[in-house]
Structure 1
Amino acid sequence: MILTVTLNTALDLTYGVAALVPHSSHRVSDLSERPGGKGINVARVVTALGHDSVVTGFAGGATGSVLRELLAALPPGTATLTDALVPVAGDTRRTLAVADRATGDTTQFNEPGPHITAAEWTAFLRSYEELLTGADAVALCGSLPPGIHVGAYAELIRPARAAGVPVLLDTSGEPLRRGIAARPDLIKPNADELAQLTGSRDPLRATRDARRRGAHAVIASLGPDGMLAVTPDGSWQASPPAPVKGNPTGAGDSAVAGLLSGLVEGLSWPDRLRRAVALSTATVLAPTAGDFDRAAYEELLPRVAIEEHAPAA
C-alpha cells in the first residue's frame, strides 16, 4: 500500500472559458470538481497504475464533506483508494483553475485552508503512525494549513524512517528546508523551489547541493525540460519528446506517483524517471485538472529520452 499525506486537502474546481480576458465577464463552458490536494492527486494516479493507496490528512466543513463524497464515488478499479482523512472543525479549502480553451493556458487560484488546532494535529499523528505499519512507501505532499508548525514534515519523516518505510517529500520553502534535515529518502522540488533552497539556479549543482543537505535522492522537476535526478546510484535527466500545452495542474503529482510506484516495483532509476515524465506530460494533456491521458502516457513512455550525467568531481 502507498500512503499519501495531504495536510491541506482541497476541492479542485476547473472552469473552462472560451478565452480569458481581464476586466471582462466570462461564460463558463464546462465545469468539473474533484477531490484534490497534492497527495490525493498522487493517490488517484497510483491507484490507476494498479497500486492500493490510502489518503490521509485533514477534511472539514461542507467542502470537506463534498471532497469525501467525491472520493467515495471514484470508479472502482483493480486497486483500491481508501479514505483515512482526519475530520477537523474548519472548512477544507477550494482551488480554482480557469482554463482558457483558446490558448490552452490555465490560471490558478488557491485558498489558504482551515486552521488546524493542536488537538486535531495530535489526532492526526496517532492515525498516521498506525497507517505507517501497513505502508510500502509514503508521500508527504503540499503546503501546510494555518496552525501547523513549519517543522511538521520533519516530525512525520522521523517515524516513517524508524518504521523502515521509504518517504518522499514534496513541498517548498521553510517546510522543505526543515524536512530535508530529517533525511527523507527522496525530495521532488521544482526549479524555483530548488533555487530557493540552495541559492543556485544551476539545476545540476543545486540538486547535488540539496542531496548534501540530507535527502537520500533528489529529483528536480524542470517543467517542459523534464526531470533531473541525483541519487546514490548515479545522475540522470529524463526529457519528454516535445513540449506540450495544456493544464499543468497535477502534473508534478503524477510525476510523484510515477516515482513512488516505480520504487515499490523495484524499477531502476532511469525507468522510474521515464514513467514519471511520461505521466507528468500525459497529465498536462488531459482535459480535466489532475487526471492523466492514459493513451498519451502509453505512447509517450518509450519516447522519453534518458541522459546520464557524469559523477560530481
Structure 2
Amino acid sequence: MIVVVTPNPAIDITLTVDRLEPGHTHRVTPGVHRAGGKGINVARVLTIMGADAVAIAPVGSSDRAWFAADLNGIPVDFLDVPGSVRQSTAVVEPHQTTVFNETGTALDDAVWEELLVRVAARLDSADCLVISGSVPPGCSPALYGNLVALGRDREIPVVADATGSALRFAAEAGATVLKPNAAELTETTGETDPVAGARALQARGAGLILVSLGEDGMIAVPRDQRDPLWSAHLGRVLSGNPTGAGDAAVAAIASALATGTTPVDTRTLLSRATAWSAAAVLEPLAGSVHPTRVAELEAELEITVTPREDLS
C-alpha cells in the first residue's frame, strides 16, 4: 500500500480554449471539475497503473461527499474540516496551459496534529509514503519534515514533491526521493543549474533527486557524488496538458520504491518517471495516464549516463 498525503487538496477545473487572450471575454464549453491537488492526482495515477494507494487529506465539509465520490473507489481517509475545497483552474490551449491556483483556507493546528496521527496509523502496513503539493495559509511547512520523519522512523521510503520551505524541510528530514521541477528547484535553492540545486538539497539531507526539465525530460542526481548522473528525454515534443505530468512522475517513483527493491535502481526510477510523466501530458485531465502509452513512451526514451562535470 502506498500512502499519499495531500495537505492542500483542490477541485481541479479544466477549461479548453483555442487561444487565451488576456483582457477579452471567452465563451467556452463547460469546464470539467475533478477532485484534485497534487497528491490526489498521484493516487489516481497509481490506481490506474495497478498499485494500491490510499489518499489522506483535509477536505472541506461542503465538498466532502462529492470529493470522495469523484475518486471513484480509491480508498480515502479524509479529515473533515469546515468550508469548501479550494479551486485550481487550468486553461488549456493547443500549445500551452495557464493555471490559476487558489491558496486555500487556513486550518487550525489541531488539523495538522490529527493528520500526523492518521498518517502514522497507516504506515504500519505501508510500502511507501508520498507527500505532495502546497500547504494552505497558516500551515507550517515543517509539516513536510514531520511527515517525512514518520516514514523514515519506520524505514519506509518517502517521496516528496513540494517547493520552498516545505521542500527544504523534506530534505532535512531525509526524504528518500525529492521530485521538484527546475523552476521549483531554483526557487528553493537559488541555484539555476539543476545539478547544483540538487546538491544543495542533498547537503541538507535529501537522498536521490529527480528534476523535471519540461520538454528536455528529466535528470536523476544520486546522493553519492561518486555515482553517475542520469538523464532521460524523448526525441520529440508532446502537445497536450502538462498540468499533471509531475504528479504522474511522483506516482511512478512511488510505485517502483514500493516493490522493496534495494538499493534504489536509479535508471529504472528515471525511466519510469519520465515515461509516466510524458504519458500524462497526452491526457486531457490531470491525474490520468494510459498504460499502453506509458509502455510505448518508455520504449522511446533516450537515456544517458553522464559525468557530473559534463551535465549542465
What TM-score comes out, normalization by structure 2 length?
Answer: 0.91
Letter in 2 for 1:260: A
| DSSP 3-state at the match of 1:115 | coil
How far apart, CA to CA, are the structure 2 residues paired with 1:241 and 1:133? 42
Is the counterpart of residue 10 in structure 1 residue 5 in structure 2?
no
How far apart, CA to CA, are the structure 1 residues paired with 2:161 and 2:284? 24
How far apart, CA to CA, are the structure 2 residues paired with 1:149 and 1:28? 38
Give CA-to-partner distance per residue, 1:152-200, whole Å, 9 cap, x none: 1111111211111111111001111222111111111111222233332
The alpha-carbon deviation at position 65 of structure 1 amounts to 3.3
Q: Which residue is equivalent to 2:210?
A: 219
| DSSP 3-state at the match of 2:41 | helix
Q: Which residue is equivalent to 2:276?
A: 279
Alignment of 1:180-219 (within 5 A): 180-219=171-210
Letter in 2 for 1:65: A
Letter in 1 for 2:272: R
How far apart, CA to CA, are the structure 1 residues paired with 2:258 and 2:159? 12
The total of aligned residue pairs comes to 304
Give CA-to-partner distance per residue, 1:211-257, whole Å, 9 cap, x none: 22210111111111111111245421111221212211110000011
How far apart, CA to CA, are the structure 1 residues paired with 2:8 and 2:219? 27
**C-alpha root-mean-square deviation of aligned residues, in Å?**
1.8
How far apart, CA to CA, are the structure 1 residues paired with 2:215 and 2:29? 28
Is the counterpart of residue 21 in structure 1 residue 14 in structure 2?
no
Whether the aligned pair in 1 keeps the contact of 2:168 and 2:201 (CA below 8 Å) is: no
How far apart, CA to CA, are the structure 2 residues paired with 1:196 and 1:16? 29
Q: Which residue is equivalent to 1:263?
A: 257
Q: Alignment partner for residue 88 of structure 2, among 91, 95, 119?
A: 95
Alignment of 1:1-313 (within 5 A): 1-71=1-71, 73=72, 81-100=74-93, 103-231=94-222, 232=224, 234-265=228-259, 266=261, 268-310=265-307
Give CA-to-partner distance per residue, 1:73-131, whole Å, 9 cap, x none: 35xxxxxx31112111132111111122xx33221111111221122222222111101
The alpha-carbon deviation at position 30 of structure 1 amounts to 4.7
| DSSP 3-state at the match of 1:87 | strand
The alpha-carbon deviation at position 311 of structure 1 amounts to 5.6
| DSSP 3-state at the match of 2:231 | strand
How far apart, CA to CA, are the structure 1 residues paired with 2:198 and 2:111? 35
Runs of at least 5 residues in structure 1 that lack an aligned partner in the other structure: 75-80
Letter in 2 for 1:136: D
| DSSP 3-state at the match of 2:295 | helix
Q: Percent identity?
A: 38
Higher relative contact order (CA 8 A, sep 6+): 2
Whether the aligned pair in 1 keeps the contact of 2:5 and 2:56 (CA below 8 Å) is: yes
How far apart, CA to CA, are the structure 2 residues paired with 1:14 and 1:237? 31
Letter in 1 for 2:78: L
Give CA-to-partner distance per residue, 1:22-48, whole Å, 9 cap, x none: 222222225312110111111111111
Letter in 2 for 1:167: V
Whether the aligned pair in 2 keeps the contact of 1:4 and 1:56 (CA below 8 Å) is: yes
Larger mean Cα displacement after TM superposition, 184-193 or 198-207 = 198-207
How far apart, CA to CA, are the structure 1 residues paired with 2:196 and 2:98? 31
What TM-score comes out, normalization by structure 1 length?
Answer: 0.91
Whether the aligned pair in 1 keeps the contact of 2:191 and 2:197 (CA below 8 Å) is: yes
Whether the aligned pair in 2 keeps the contact of 1:90 and 1:116 (CA below 8 Å) is: no
